[in-house]
Structure 1
Amino acid sequence: MDSPRRGWQMVVVPTERVQPIPVDDRFWQPLGMRASASFKLDFTDVTVQHDDLLGEPNRYFEQPYFSGGAIRFAAVQLGGASALFDATRRFLADMHRLDDVLQQTRLAELAYLIESGNQWLRSAGDKTDQWLADQTDPATIVAYANMTRTAIEAICLQVMPLCERCVGARGLLRPHPFERIHRDLTMYLRQPAPDATLVDIGRYVLTNPTAAHALWT
């Protein structure tokens, strides 16, 4: 396509007009999420027209929508932690361990960790909706979304070993549901650029003179 456009451009590949595109899925051998699929496609010699372009250049990376989307995958991560919590309770019930004081203590900690995650997600959703409506500085939305994803990851990483201690080696054996959920969550927690995310949060709060109690109001 002969076009003066510059930057990252989203395209709807016209599969109905081109030769079959080579697909390679051999690289996708994940630890968890084995029911998922990922492919490498070779677009060599594929020509697109102006009508195949989706949006303007660099629109895909437009903030706050690009980084703000982290709230969605954080919700999925916490859903995995919640599923692990439920699988742990079922396991303990089946093993008649519900009266074990040490197990009760661990379940109490798991309960407040997961509820903390729920509160993060509710706050992030409500604030983002309001900030978008008010046309708040995108940097504020991105920083809060980054805090949310970081907090949820930390919560999940606390939930997982607590659940492991509850069920022991027996719960980590197939075909127990706990094993699959644990494996899937381990994989899905590995989202891109966690260090850059922390740097972004720190930069935002260091350059914002607002008092701590009013940073996110």
Structure 2
Amino acid sequence: MRRTVFNKDHEAFRTMIRDFIAAEVAPVYDEWEKAGHPPRDFYNKLGELGVFGIQVPEEYGGAGETSFKYQLVISEECARAAVGFGGYGVHVNLVLPYLLKYASEDQKKRWLPDFISGDMMMAIAMTEPGTGSDLAGIQTTARRDGDHYILNGAKTFITGGVLADRVLVVARTSPATPENRRAGLSILAVDTKSEGYTVGRKLEKIGLRASDTAELSFTDVRVPVEDLLGEEGRGFEYLTHNLAEERLGIAVSSYSSAAAAIEFAKRYVQERTVFGKPVSSFQNTKFVLAECATEVEAAQALVDRCVEALDAGELTPADAAKCKLFCTEVEGRVIDKCLQLHGGYGYILEYPIARLYTDARVTRIYGGTNEVMKTIIAKDLRV
């Protein structure tokens, strides 16, 4: 079906991103996976390319583009090459919406120029050992002490945490109440050079190996009051405001990877011969690819519709949950089938389908597990 979400500007941007990936990422991506992250100067290259500032208003040095469609293009092109941009996704798709919505004018002037250039990479620290998707269970504390907060606690599974220069840390600034477990949470933008701030283990993952994930700990870290994001005690409200966009970003990545898997499988089965025939000539191959193509077409339609809704300010938490649930499940099924078509070679890391397979598994977990997505959808159905 004809796709209508992109215009000529998006396609020109796509060409630029595709060329950049071919020149700067694909040739060295294996090295990034071994290191566990891109080299630090890669983020400055992204800054020079202008991708960090696409959605930043012009008065702070950005392009002032409000559409999410440019992020959709980047996701599709990364999946097409079976690569990633390390901490890029967290920096732009998770952190930036908080800064644009809740940062003060002074904070925007202080942070956004370096954010755009890549001189200051940012991450967000919500998850704690033992809490998982239960944000209301956060135990990290930030006690007010004059013109500073004293931060103590620990976080885990923090994407971009190894190389981050500043991290949005969700902490409890006052106790929860019996009536509201979500009360008392605040967001502090913590300078990672602060005394008492420690990057613990760099976690070894089965997938997304070029994206650093770390444990963080805070021991009496002094955070200036002017680095409080928004108002004290409204952290949970702020987090839920951005969760729909975060979950759409995961859905976009999942759909893109599933679409890329089909292309990798098509190329493989056309080149590989079995019993003197191309693998593509067998009915099973044709039927499997037909099933995959149909599911991906449906996922693409849902993604496109949700991106349009986000751009219009109409994407609901339930709709984002539906999109994440559907696209991540499709991703898992499609990539598994496409790997099967590769036979034994699908299990070998030099083939991109293997990378897509291991990278895909986490999408049904982070951003809220798919079980949580079902709960959100069911609540919206009032059942």
Q: TM-score under structure 2 normalisation?
A: 0.47
Bigger relative CO (Cα 8 Å, ≥ 6 apart): 1
Q: Distance in 2 between matches of 1:173 and 1:80?
A: 18
Counting only pairs closer than 5 Å after superposition, residues 76-95 of structure 1 correspond to structure 2 as 76-95=253-272
Change (3 A) 1:186 1:66: closer
Contact 1:30–1:187 (Cα < 8 Å) also in 2: no
Q: Distance in 2 between matches of 1:205 and 1:116?
A: 22
Is 1:103 equivalent to 2:285 in the alignment? yes
Q: Distance in 1 between matches of 2:245 and 2:292?
A: 27
Q: Distance in 2 between matches of 1:200 and 1:15?
A: 34
Aligned to 1:23: 199
Aligned to 1:214: none
Counting only pairs closer than 5 Å after superposition, residues 136-151 of structure 1 correspond to structure 2 as 141-151=316-326
Q: 1:47 aligns with which of 195, 203, 222?
A: 222
Q: Distance in 1 between matches of 2:352 and 2:245?
A: 32
Aligned to 2:300: 118
Say which structure is richer in helix. 1
Contact 1:23–1:39 (Cα < 8 Å) also in 2: yes
Count of aligned pairs between the two proteins: 198
RMSD of the alignment, in Å?
A: 2.4
Q: Deviations over 1:86-120 (max 9, x none)?
A: 21112112213232222111111111111111001
Contact 2:338–2:353 (Cα < 8 Å) also in 1: no
Is 1:13 equivalent to 2:190 in the alignment? yes
Aligned to 1:69: 246
Q: 2:355 aligns with which of 174, 180, 189?
A: 180
In percent, how many aligned pairs have the same letter? 20
Aligned to 1:195: 371
Q: Distance in 1 between matches of 2:196 and 2:218?
A: 10
Contact 1:70–1:145 (Cα < 8 Å) also in 2: yes
Contact 1:33–1:188 (Cα < 8 Å) also in 2: no
Q: Distance in 1 between matches of 2:191 and 2:313?
A: 37
Aligned to 2:145: 2
Contact 1:60–1:66 (Cα < 8 Å) also in 2: no
Change (3 A) 1:170 1:8: same
Q: Deviations over 1:125-180 (max 9, x none)?
A: 22333354xxxxxxx71111111111112212321332133122222123222211
Amino acid aligned to 1:19: E
Q: Deviations over 1:167-212 (max 9, x none)?
A: 22222123222211211112333323322221221121127xxxxx
Is 1:38 equivalent to 2:213 in the alignment? yes
Q: Deviations over 1:4-29 (max 9, x none)?
A: 9642222122445x337322124x11
Amino acid aligned to 1:39: A
Amino acid aligned to 2:261: L
Question: Structure 2 unaligned runs (5+)?
Answer: 1-143, 150-172, 175-183, 273-277
Amino acid aligned to 2:280: L
3-state SS in 2 of match to 1:25: strand
